[in-house]
Structure formats: C-alpha cells, structure tokens
Amino acid sequence: MAEIAIRNVRKTYGKLQVVHGVDLAIGAGEFVVILGPSGCGKSTLLRMIAGLEAITAGEIAIGGEVVNKREPRERGCAMVFQNYALYPHMTVAENIGYALKVAGLAKAERTARVAAVAASIGLTDFLDRKPGQLSGGQRQRVAMGRAMIREPKVFLYDEPLSNLDARLRVAMRVEIRKLHQRLGTTTLFVTHDQVEAMTLADRIVVMNAGKVEQVGTPQEVYGRPESLFVAGFIGTPGLNLLPGTLDPAAGVVHLEGGRRLAYDRQRWAGAPAGRVLAGFRAEVARLVRPGQGLDASYEFAEELGASRLLHGSLGGTVVVVSVADGRMLQPGETFGIEVAPSEVHLFDAETGRRLPGEARPSSRQSVPVLEAV
C-alpha cells in the first residue's frame, strides 16, 4: 500500500490546458474513483500518475516519494487500460503470468498464481487460447488478471469495464471490490459511469473540464452536491432544478408563475436573498392532487420495472418524479408535486455553486413512500 499526493498538477498540449491545477490526497489502501464525462481530463490525470504522460507543472508523490522523473516501471503501479494491450503471440496464461516470468518466479509457483487469478475472473477454460480467439470482454479480463497478479503498491484502472456486457460488468465490479478488500492496495479507478463510481468508491473525485468539482464519499456527492454540474451528473436522473428567487423572511423560493417552494430555514439560515436554483431529487418528491403542491404538466414516463419516472413540465422547466405504482397519466394531464423543505437544495444562479450559509451538511435520507394520484 502507498499513499498518493497530487499537488497542483497541470497538463497542457501546446496552448491547450486539459488539467487545471489538480490537488488530491489519496490515503494508503483507499479506493478512489475519478468520475467525469468524456474529455474531462480524468484519464490524462491517471496516465500522469502512471508515468505515461509527462507532467507540465506540479508534482506527484507515491509512498512519500516524488515520482515526476521516475520511469513507469519504477513507480510500483499496475495499470489496466481501456484497450487490452495484450501480447497477441502469447496464450492467456502467458499474458497473465508474464510479469512473474520476468521477475524470475519459479514455474510451479507462477502456474499456481496464474490459475488462481484466472479462476477469480472466469478465465480458467481459456488459459491455452490466444487473445485473437477471445471476445472483447474476455480480453479485458486477461488485462485485469495481468495487473492483479503483480499485487503492486497501486492499482490504476482506466475504464476497464467499458467493453463488458451489463451482467459481466456487475460481476467484475464485485471481483474488483473483493480484490481490494483482500489486498488492501491503493486503487484509482477512472470511469464515466456513475453506477461504477457509487458502488466501488470509498471516495469519488468528480471532474469536469480539467478541474475537480467535488471530492467526497458516494453519500456526500449524492446527498450534498457542491455545484450544478455535480447535481446534474450524479443520480439517475440528476437533481431537478427550478429557477427562482430566495425569500429568507418567508422561507420560500418564489418560482415562475407565482409558485412557491418551501425550504428549511434553519438549515439555510445564512443564505442571502436573490436569484437561485432550487433542487430536489426525483425519488424524494411525492405525487399529490393538482392544487396541493407544485402543479406540472405530464409528458411521458420511463418504465424501470420496480418504479416509473414521470417526466413533466413545470413553468417550462423539465421535472422528473419517481413513483412505485399508480394509474397512468395522459399527456398534458396536470399532477401535483410535494417536496419536504428538508429535501430542497439551493444553488447560486450566477456561480452554479452550492449556496453559502448552509448551517450543517445534509445526509442522504430514506426515500419516503410515494403516493399515486
């Protein structure tokens, strides 16, 4: 295990800056997921840690030692890439065990460790095949096995599950987490998939346009998003956001069309009056009869099996409410939405950041039972 310190790290290509002064401290044995959309700089940051990309400015330390000038092989990292990077002329067993062969490990021990790793990722029946005889998902598992067998100081994963089908992705998430629990190796995992981030991470680093938007546990980034980007990116769907004007004296946000949304004045006692975006999660809203809450016009529903996402329009703004059951609505039909004041998030309309003056951090609360109209 080794801690990782990233200090004011920047990366530019010519005049284009793609990583803007990132600062992160990753504890020994921690599992950290770097999450963000394509092009946000997350893979570039991972490659700089691995030594595969030169650092334009700043420094990276692994295990207390600055590694800016160290070769990749000297950093104690094992990396799994988006592509497979396998030796095509070697068998699966030879690919997985290659690092052990280079290290001079005895053949009997090497064979035993290869067999154990192959069994854990479902490759026992494929050890004698070449990469060209495997599916994309199987090849990615070989690449993961090659990293796992080294038991390095740091694991670096660059979207390793992107080529797997949905069922296998779930299985591999379990295996990756079990591997981390067994070895306790410091792990950085890059993905654009928030489900992978939420299920795997001790902490999540949310990146956008080369900058860190927020760092926190899965519960923190879900329950207390620090910016509009995080609010929209985390959660399925993201936070509902309604423009309005904060009225601290009344404890409400005045929305368009004369609507009012109450918020927790004790929690936001220091929040100043002005233009805001008020947010709430689809799963904490309750359906009520028209006239008893915020009235919205129904558009369509997403069927998710155990639940349904109702999409509607509220004063020209899209809103989504999660319901467990209830009668089907007709397009254009009006339905009411009720949100508890404690579930309302407030963001500055100008900066897009969480509104200052919040008295205490919120935590993710249990989702109330949703009532059908």
Residue 99 sits in the same domain as residue 242: no
**328 or 31, which is more confident:** 31
Cβ contacts of residue 201 below 8 Å, gap of 6+?
Answer: 31, 32, 33, 189, 217, 218
pLDDT > 70? residue 265: yes
Would you say residue 264 lies in a domain?
yes
- Residues 337, 297 share a domain: yes
Average pLDDT over residues 320-342: 90
Whose tokens are 């004790």? That residue is 266
Query: Cα–Cα distance between 166 and 150 in angstroms, integer?
Result: 27
In a shared domain, residues 9 and 69: yes
pLDDT at 70 over 80: yes
Residue at token pair 């467990």? 324
The predicted pLDDT at position 43 comes to: 94
Q: Is residue 267 part of a domain?
A: yes
Model confidence at 360, in pLDDT bands (50, 70, 90)? low
User: Based on the structure, what is the number of domains in the chain?
Assistant: 2
* Residue 356 pLDDT greater than 90, yes or no: no
CB 88 within 8 A of CB 164: no
Rounded to the nearest 5°, which phi and psi values hold at 69?
Answer: -100, 5
Q: What is the mean pLDDT of residues 361-371?
A: 38
Domain stops at, among 223, 257, 272: 223
For residue 232, the enclosing domain spans: 228-348
Distance CA 293, CA 286 (A): 9
Q: How far apart are CA 321 and CA 345, in angstroms?
A: 16
Q: Please state the pTM of the whole predicted model.
A: 0.86
* pLDDT value, residue 367: 35
